[in-house]
Structure 1
């Protein structure tokens, strides 16, 4: 009987062994749950075998470097959209590359600003996800501000340049100039040029090749926020202004014949007898093209402020500034006997009260005064008001930082 029991024991062992082998196979055929990842949109799990997209933002951290574009890079998938906003909700414009791998901002990150980054991605297997992050740029050591001419919404003469004067020195002139844009309502060729302002500050002007065409509408845009003017000095805002060019008025001043002539659209409007600066010394007038900077009305003129001792100290009516150094056109009734006959002023262009009143009402800032005469102090310098019209076009172009 022992022969009949042995086979049963062998079968029992084989069945137990088979059960043991089948148990792990059943576990291996069960799908593992997808682990939660930071870039899975709204908790939606990725598809089987679809790895999450890795997103990298540059710059990053709590003391990120300002003054560079923001870039977002995707690995293991592509970007479908990216938004980068500051604390005020202002969005940095940018564009996703054609291959969907990178997004680059069109503007630079400004100093002392926290940016929130939201990147929409799609993995290789089709899973959509959202990745959020933020970074903060280091603050500016010093802020550089800008003084503008002409003012927004004004109508100016055909010789008016765009002029920007900076609070602090600008070392990165080329980088700053790249952020400046002039848009005109008709084709107008022009160029930026750098100089040291009469005040000693850095300055950049834009003038057209020739006088503006009347009626031209001009928009000036300076997207300077996030641009470094020099080490540690930054611009932290953008600037914009618009203005319109008025009628073509040109003032011809002949110091040899002592006459001023106002031309409008090529036609003579009126001729006025004047008296210019006294020949033979520091009281001589400037020659060349000076641009009417401002109509200042009645002001006090003191000779000591322009290095002429105590020659005069008086209130002067209908004052029209032509240079920073103190040359004006104005009423000068005390010189009445010299109008049309002799140059006997302290450098300004004087006329009667009646003529000055009429003339003051006709002209506007930006009108050119084309001054000729044998005995003068020389030509108006580019930084002495708006004397850049006394430079050739080629020379003016050469003062651009981008040439």
Structure 2
């Protein structure tokens, strides 16, 4: 019997999303409308933030957060070496310089010791914390270090929706948080993102810069089409269709998160028979993960080949991913521009070589989590045997 394939991720859209989109398309307002405002308010309430500003993507949000604080040429920003390139790209967009810091081997999160050194040596004006795969960084210490250095803390929450640190949600743990609604994230707006902050002035600056730098919003113009531009801005808006999908997604988000946590628990239990595999914990001190995926990291000595394990699981119909395929400073653009060399970021480089991300999303049906775990364990055993015989 051929078993159905289990993709790493899958957008979960239903009748509620389709009806919400149809309602928007039946009207005459596609941007600057009430659905976007309602989505922003609902998201702010869930995140526990005073402000939520919808944007075109998480990348756009990261760029705007730095731009709104005046970060630009001549400035430095601390960035983890293990992250999606968007985190570092946002710094480059501002003309600033990313200062890469290695990550912790048991979480993949920014190493606070490295942050302290980087702040001292570079005089960085901001620290970009990435809650790797949904587990919050050590925010108390990082905030203390940043505060002492008078550096802004920007949270990249692309994979951390509903994650918490000491009971407070990601996106409220620094000056500003940026979320992604890419199709396979915890929730989607097809494309899009959200910026959260408790800082009134920062929220206003970000909102202005996401729409060309207009000095007044559509509803505050005494004469239609008349406005001034007082700062440089971008077209980083979210439209009403995307916001409608987001609002519908939020209605079912509690159940989605429950299923993610349960799938994570089942797969984690199945992998317990592999002591040589590092499985990142869903909780660490006051940090609790959002369960974006389950990360399993194979030994650094290469005794088990990651690519072979992934290939064997693919043959078994199981989709996997890699977070991420290279330490960012060793990707061609950054390596060529700044001269970074292999060996400079040993933990990030190990993760890039040997990490496998396993699916825990709500698209997994009954028995799927057990099947994912069994496939991984079987693939590891086969890959180990093949490599041993080959050596």
Q: Same fold (TM over 0.5)?
A: no
| TM-score range for the pair, normalised by the shorter chain length | under 0.3
Larger Rg: 1
Q: TM-score with structure 1 length normalisation?
A: 0.20
The structure richer in strand per residue is 1
The structure richer in helix per residue is 2
Higher relative contact order (CA 8 A, sep 6+): 2
